Amino acid sequence: MTKTRPTASEAGCKSPHAGYLRKISNTLFAALQAHAWKCRGKKVVISNGCFDILHVGHIKFLEAAKARGDYLIVGINSDRAVSVLKGPSRPINKQGDRMAIIAALESVDLVVLVDAVRVHDFIEAIRPNVWCKGASYTLDTLDHGEAMAARRVKAEIALLELVKGVSTTNVLNTIRQHPEGRSTQQRVRRK
């Protein structure tokens, strides 16, 4: 019998009691599950990204993505892919931890590790109804290969609004500027 789902330890998660671990999958299983959902008339949405340090922008984005359909599958960039995309000091959190954190969110139905820098293979494997990206992109600035993959599988490309001023880069910059752990605004409020 062929194994289609990674075990908790393969996903990098230590707790055997974490119910969200059932959401951690691989591309093959996710593609089969997406096909089954679509056969039942359900709308499948995907998104992808690094999701290195979870913040309110991620949560609101994933909730908005889920609202575009019935099921949300999130592709998490591997550690190698994040380093290529963001630089050698990233990721902060390892891929197994990032997968577990995103899987724990109520809006997310499946999480898949994507080892490629570009996700055209992920899009073509899952064949979603909708592919969600942040509105920091435009249809012209999306990766051409990814956009073509979405068009080939007839997926709607949805560019979702982001929370203004909230990003992992901004969180990291705040930490670097305030290593004592408090922002200037927090210090002022406490006085």
Q: Give the pLDDT score at 166.
A: 74
Residue-wise pLDDT for 11-60, tens only, equals 555 554 457 889 999 999 999 999 999 999 999 999 999 999 999 999 99
Coil, helix or strand for 140?
Answer: coil
- Name the residue with tokens 């109520």: 106
Question: Are the CB atoms for 5 and 25 separated by under 8 Å?
Answer: yes
> Does residue 151 surpass a pLDDT of 80?
yes
- For residue 104, tell me if it sits in a domain: yes
Question: Are the CB atoms for 12 and 100 separated by under 8 Å?
Answer: yes
User: Of 89, 110, 114, 88, whose CA–CA distance to 42 is shortest?
Assistant: 110
Question: Are the CB atoms for 38 and 129 separated by under 8 Å?
Answer: yes
Query: Which tokens in the block code for residue 105?
Result: 């969110």
Q: Give the pLDDT score at 11.
A: 53
**Model confidence pTM above 0.85:** no
- For residue 2, tell me if it sits in a domain: no
Tally the domains of the chain.
1
H or E stretch including 188? helix 184-190
- For residue 178, tell me if it sits in a domain: no
What's the one-letter identity of residue 6?
P
- For residue 169, tell me if it sits in a domain: no
Residue-wise pLDDT for 63-106, tens only, equals 999 999 999 999 999 999 999 999 999 999 999 999 999 999 99
Using alpha carbons only, give the angle 117, 119, 123 rounded to the nearest 5 degrees.
170
What's the one-letter identity of residue 55?
H
CATH number at residue 41: 3.40.50.620
Q: Measure the CA–CA gap between 126 and 120, rounded to whole angstroms.
A: 10
* pLDDT grade for 184, boundaries at 50, 70 and 90: low
- For residue 1, tell me if it sits in a domain: no
- For residue 40, tell me if it sits in a domain: yes
Mean of all residue pLDDT scores within the chain = 87
State mean pLDDT over 151-164: 94
- For residue 190, tell me if it sits in a domain: no
State mean pLDDT over 153-178: 85
- For residue 69, tell me if it sits in a domain: yes
Q: Give the pLDDT score at 163.
A: 81
Q: Measure the CA–CA gap between 83 and 89, rounded to whole angstroms.
A: 7
The boundaries of the domain holding residue 30 are 19-164
Q: Give the pLDDT score at 49.
A: 95
Q: How many CB atoms lie within 10 A of CB 11?
A: 22
